[in-house]
Amino acid sequence: MAWRTRIEGSQGLPEREFNGPVVGLQAQYADGLGRLGDDFVGADPEEQDRRLATDPAFSRLLYEHACEGTYGDPVYGGNRDRAGWVATGFAGDVQPRGWSDDEVRTGE
């Protein structure tokens, strides 16, 4: 229920509104993308930055999800070919091999 509420919003359903209405991620994206404008993708970078700066709450949401997509586990569809991990030298999940005791101690 938590994630349906978080994604879809509370939609007036009493079982989702025990602490009041919740605006879902779907609505936040629809509204936020609308405010950035249909021509956002084609705008030059300075103009893109200017528009993002006018909407700090949506920009923060975009940034958090961009970071999850770039540095999170590829199983979710982002970080393709572990590009975010390769670029930053992060080994990711090393199970089932793990690290040997020598690799732990020496850092080699």
Binding site for another protein (CB under 8 A): 1-2, 5-6, 15, 18-19, 22, 59, 63-64, 66-68, 70-73, 75-76, 84-85, 87-107
State in angstroms the smallest separation of the CB of 97 from another protein.
7
State in angstroms the smallest separation of the CB of 30 from another protein.
20
Give how far the C-alpha of residue 104 lies from the chain's centroid of Cα atoms, to the nearest Å. Answer: 31
Local structure of 31: helix, strand or coil: helix
User: Could you tell me if 55 and 34 are in contact, meaning their C-beta atoms sit under 8 angstroms apart?
Assistant: no
State in angstroms the smallest separation of the CB of 42 from another protein.
20
